[in-house]
Amino acid sequence: MRAFTTRLWAVTALLPVLHCCAAAAEPPAPPRQVVSVDLSGVGHGALESPGGAGQSILEGSASFLQRQRLAASDWYWGWGLRGDVFAFDNTGGFPVSHLQDYAAQLSLEYMVHGRPAAWLTLHPGLYYERTPTLSAWDVPLEAVSAIPISPSVSGVLGVDYARFYYLPVPIAGVTWAATPRLRANLVYPDPSVVLTLSPRLEARLAGELGGGGFKTDAVAGKTHVEYFDYHIGAHLAFKLLPGLKLEAGAGYVVDRTFEFLPGPERLHGNAAPFGHLGVTWSR
């Protein structure tokens, strides 16, 4: 799972893809290369632990994806690299100071008029606290598909799962194109309301789940940890140049959860403000 990016970025486009573009004479091709970098900072918040720990967080994510069309079809396969880092500035002796992953990206996507309507992604790599060992391997998997319901409503169904997850994360809901400029994506775990203000400017109010599962090397009796945080905030995305988009946002992390496994032993963090900046280049 990516560290605070719009993990289901394609969901926002599913309705126009499936229903609004049928009359297009020549479907646009999807970007062949996509590079993204995201940074966010989370303010200090208390952890509900016996030691009275608290922490602030710096999160970083970078991704590169290269697409290739499969013969003369609407299927595309992709490959690339990605990395996520969570750096925790702790007080009160909390044992985890870093969580990180470095992985390949492998994808199979079904495109409708240049946008993904269904996809399967694999991220084989190392997911660890501080020490990159072979036992830290994992292959997180995400499978998602749109389900047409009506000219203005589509369903979304999928799953996100990995070796270091306690349970799979379901992906389910509906997207609704209320108007050509306003759409609501009532999809768990990343719902959003998106308003197109102009051809170059888009506003988004969203909830987003970030984090993942990692092998630990500093917590006695525990082999791995699931860390998840849930952001609720407002974001603006601006197209600076063709293919270059800048996004900035702010809001609150309403919950942080460390689930140490096997066990489980769960710790929650109190709400804290966050700020986010991201840039995406595609061509």
Residue 31 and residue 44: Cα distance in Å, rounded? 38
The answer to whether the peptide bond before residue 189 is cis (omega within 30 degrees of 0) is yes
Beta strand pairing call for 201-215 and 224-241? antiparallel
Rg (CA), the chain: 19
- E-strand ranges in the chain read 33-46, 54-69, 75-91, 98-112, 115-122, 125-128, 137-138, 141-150, 153-161, 169-177, 182-188, 192-198, 201-215, 224-241, 244-261, 265-269, 272-282
pLDDT at 72: 85
Mean pLDDT of the chain: 89
User: Would you say the C-alpha torsion 192, 12, 168, 134 has a positive or negative sign?
Assistant: negative
| Three-state secondary structure call for residue 225 | strand
Q: Would you place residue 142 in the very low, low, confident or very high pLDDT band (cuts 50, 70, 90)? A: very high
Question: Helices in the chain by DSSP H: which ranges?
Answer: 14-15
Burial (Cβ within 10 Å: 0-12, 13-18, ≥19) of residue 141? middle
Which three-class secondary structure state does DSSP give residue 54?
Answer: strand
Q: Give the burial class of 47: count Cβ atoms within 10 A of its Cβ; 0-12 exposed, 13-18 middle, 19 or more buried.
A: buried
pLDDT digits (tens, 9 = 90+) for 37-87: 999 999 999 988 767 789 999 999 999 999 999 988 899 999 999 999 999
pLDDT reading at 263 higher than 70 = yes
Tell me which of 136 and 114 has the higher pLDDT.
136
- pLDDT category at 3 given cuts 50, 70, 90 is very low
Share of the chain above pLDDT 70, in %: 89
**More confident site: 227 or 8:** 227
Question: Distance between terminal CA atoms of the chain?
Answer: 24
Nearest-5° angle of CA 175, CA 181, CA 186? 20
